[in-house]
Amino acid sequence: MMIFIFWTLLASSLAVARVFDLSGLQWTLKNQNGSIIVPGSLPSQAHLDLFEAGIINDPLLGINEFTERWVINDNWTYTADLTPFTQTYQSNASAKTLLVLYGIDTIANITLAGHPVAWVNNQFRRYTFDVSDCLSSSAGEDNNLTIAFESAWYYGLNVSMRPDAEYFPITPLVSTSYSFEYPNVREWIRKIDDDFGWDWGPAFVPSGVYKPAYLATLSESELRGPASNATSCPVTSSSILLDETSIDIYKYGQNSSVAPDQSADWIINVTFGIRSIKLFEKPTVILSIPELKLTSEPLNLGPIPANADENTYLSVNWSIPDNIPERWYPIDLGNPKLYNLIVTLDPSPSQGEGPSAESITQTITTGFRTIQLLQTPYSEEEIASRGITPGDQWHFAINGKAFYSKGTNIIPFDPFYSRIRPEAARWILESAVKSGQNMLRIWGGGIYQPSDAATDGGLYAFYSLCDELGILAWSELIFSDSLSPINDFFLESVEPEVRQNVRRVNRHPSNVQWAGGNEIEDIVMLANASLANGTHYLDEFVYMFQDYLHDIVLSETNSLPYTDCSTTRGVLSLDPYVLRFENGTPGYIYGNTEQYNYNASEAFDLTTYPVSRFVNEFGFHSMPSFYSWEEVLENPKDFAFNSSVVMSRDHHPPAGNLSWPNPNAPQGQYQMTSAVELWLPTPGTSDSNQTFAQWCWSTQLFQSMNMVAEIAWYRRGAGLGENNLGSLVWQLNDIWQGVSWSAIEYSGRWKVLQYGMATVYSPVIINPFWFPGNESLTILATSDRWETVNGTAQLTWYDWSGNAISSMSAPFSIPTLNNSFIYEGIGLDTILPFGYNAKDVWLLMNVTAIVDNRLLTSESYFTPVSLAYANLIDPQIAVIAGDNYTFILSAKGGVGVWTWLDHPSGTVGYFLDLTTGLPSNGYYLIPGIDRTVQFVSSVELATVQSPDPADFVVRSLWNNIHI
């Protein structure tokens, strides 16, 4: 039998600690009554081990979310024999063995060798326990590590029914806690909120050791070995466990309420969380950045006590002149420059050459930048000179410069964290960058995303990828759509959770802020206005989100801002931190906003779009593609838009309880159906599979058209009184194959919206703004560049046969973060080409400009009537396949409206326009103007590496009603 022991080797050090990876043990999983006993694994979760053992089917298949609910209702115990560890373990009075658990999901009793270790109740915490005494005196023949999980569902029910449990009312006017599937429990449990269901995903309420776990033995003896770098997790020397290393880089004098002086020195703060079995009186820290040829003097850390029971937190600061490091920028605004910071902690520095045998060296990748969230009032001068609508600012500034935030919202990548593949997470983030995004909001109802695969047992990289790729990350504490109980028991668990995660994420220059939670401020304001005891809930909210969490977060970072909630009306004051709520002047603009409108008749009515400083959520749901349905549907009769299985995977609006299938699904299905019927030809052909595929695609097409129109509206606002400087679409990724708001499907396949964003999030765009009330059309070119952009706009009217009717061009010059007027017309008769019917024509708009020293082109379309009523003509699209998966698309008949090329099942990738060098799919294909695209495959994700070019499928709106 292989002994799974490894030795943590330390740079410039010969002292090592014994670290044992618990994933190497032989684990078993059993249910409460012992009727099921199967092999287990670590990291894992009960559903996954049951699936591996053949007890259940793939949880994502068919209706298994319902049929496998019994797993949630049971209690599950993981047990492993520790003999592989204990047979080489020698009890030593001066040694300590620590059990390090990076992720426990969620309610569990832990015993070792028959002795109780701990009861844990927080999925988001790292736990470290001294188990030395347990190992030295096993209870009888018990030599096991046992982790017994209680059903989180039943635990939540028990807690919520306690006589001292706070009541969260649900009335016709207000819900103080929203339930999606498993009701009225999630606010009591520090666990992923959407594990209990959400309107875009399933409810599996998983349990298990979902991140790595270790036994680390610290000893006063100095075992000798070759020098190496401390890349293992956890980080140790022979007598020290370095539980945390936090890097916070900021400007001298900066904090959340004091703007950074951009010329001030940089301060690198390094904070260690240390457990040691020895007293070290004069430890030092040396910091260096090899790329800059900078090395600090030894920095005095302060005494390290002999305390292995809890972390001792000690810090050092290093000052670096402003002009030495290159600054980190998001990829669309500059270079995301990173440096390797080498951190050497020497507990007992000697007088000789080099660090002592106990030293620990880490190489941590980080960067230099300042990030601000500007929330103070606009000055009278700005209001007068720029035409700003009075009120507060609400936007970000990077390195002292305001910019436009373009992006989406991230949800968990999988219902089961332990099986998230690093390459899948990378693909989602790379896809965001490819579509022009510079910011991702990490939704506050999911998971604290990991730094990288090793740090705190992350398993995959997120923040480090954001750093590398140059994409900003808006972080949130995990509180969503519910008020929270305020009691000591609850808060005692929350405080270390927040501190651990803020300290961990500090090192990442991509992080832009911490928000206290998701969509809670509006809930409490409504409760305050509509409930007789509403002030009670408002007071609790103020305590929790204005005061308690605010103070915890900002005590751990000087480089980042804090806001109480994702959607907020802003602040009255930053120091002291006082929320605005309803304290404002009518007509002024405060805070940020979100927008959801499921009345498809208003989808393109610009007067229904919010006028806001920043829109952090807006979206419309759509079906996944036919290819994604093939992954989960098991019966041919299920391949229909309103089949029972398809509808069971539409959780919008949510059931609010355990009713199955979702009794509210017909409402969500109707919203998609009516949108397609109002704005596109209604799918219906003699081929049922084609009809279903066209329905799925058409819902995606409407979603993209709707979101692109909104994004264009918000970007237009950068140059208007609202000074809108942010739009984040809901949502980027999927958690399963079902109805959702995503731009990318569970497999990694891009929806139409993902390509739509690649166009509308281009640095310079052109878009029409049609107001049917007075039949006015305005066309603007919009830029998010810091420099003035000059270019040319071209407007060409076509008929549906592809004949150019009339054309005009106009030069433009767009100031910083602004618009340039291209065209305005009033009255449809004067806007249309003379003598043409609105159903027979459409307008192509494109811009050409030099941006960032390269030629940029972008286009958009205006149809004066809904495409449901346009007199389309068979485009007779021809596709010629070339080498390396290049395809030439030609319209041999009429215009191919929203021409779309699908890649086959089992492939993951995107289509690249070889002329523009940008992702491109879903466009108007004009006869005589061919498109050449190349399919760029994700080799890591694709299960089919060499697809047959003949299996690529072309479709357009014509195929909604024609074979």
Residues known to be catalytic: 519
What is the per-residue DSSP string for 847-904? EEEEETTEEEEEEEEE-SS-TTTS------EEEEE-GGGEEEEEESSS-EEEEEEEPP
Sheet of strand 909-913, all strands in order from the earlier edge strand to the far edge: 877-881, 886-891, 931-937, 909-913
404 contacts 436 by C-beta, under 8 angstroms: no
753 contacts 700 by C-beta, under 8 angstroms: yes
- Please tell me whether residue 129 adopts helix, strand or coil conformation: strand
Hey, what's the torsion of the CAs at 399, 402, 407, 410, to 10 degrees?
60
Distance of CA 654 to the CA centre of its chain: 22
Query: What are the backbone angles phi and psi of residue 123, rounded to the nearest 5°?
Result: -70, -20
**Residue 270 half-sphere exposure toward CB, CA atoms < 13 A:** 27
- Helix/strand/coil (H/E/C) assignment for every residue in 138-205: CCCCCCEEEEEECCHHHHHHHHHCCCCCCCCCECCCCECECCCCCCCCHHHCECCHHHHCECCECCCC
Give the C-alpha distances (Å, rounded to integers) separating 525 from 64, 93, 205, 453, 534: 39, 58, 30, 40, 8
708 contacts 387 by C-beta, under 8 angstroms: no
Cis peptide bond N-terminal to 43, omega within 30: yes
User: Containing H/E element for 62?
Assistant: none
Tell me how far apart the alpha carbons of residues 281 and 276 are, in angstroms, rounded to a whole number: 12
Cis peptide bond N-terminal to 624, omega within 30: no
Closest C-alpha among 246, 211, 192, 241 to residue 102: 211
Mark out the alpha helices in 644-782 (DSSP H runs).
644-648, 665-679, 688-716, 752-760
State both tokens at 249: 């880089």
Query: What are the backbone angles phi and psi of residue 226, rounded to the nearest 5°?
Result: -70, 150
- Residue 258 identity (one-letter amino acid): V
Q: Phi-psi bin for 21: left (phi > 0), alpha (psi -120 to 50), beta? A: beta
What is the per-residue DSSP string for 665-701? HHHHHHHHHHHHHHHSPPP--S-HHHHHHHHHHHHHH
Tell me how far apart the alpha carbons of residues 711 and 616 are, in angstroms, rounded to a whole number: 11
912 contacts 919 by C-beta, under 8 angstroms: yes
What is the per-residue DSSP string for 530-577? HSTTHHHHHHHHIIIIIIIHHHHHHHH-SS--EES-SS---EEEETTE
Give the C-alpha distances (Å, rounded to integers) separating 830 from 344, 609, 777, 827, 846: 73, 26, 10, 6, 21
Q: Which residues of 772-828 form beta strands (DSSP E)?
A: 776-783, 789-799, 804-814, 818-826
431 contacts 471 by C-beta, under 8 angstroms: no
- Please tell me whether residue 351 adopts helix, strand or coil conformation: coil
- Residue 479 identity (one-letter amino acid): F
Within 10 A of 573 (CB to CB), how many other CB atoms are there?
Answer: 12
Hey, what's the torsion of the CAs at 80, 85, 89, 92, to 10 degrees?
-50
Closest C-alpha among 652, 629, 651 to residue 641: 629
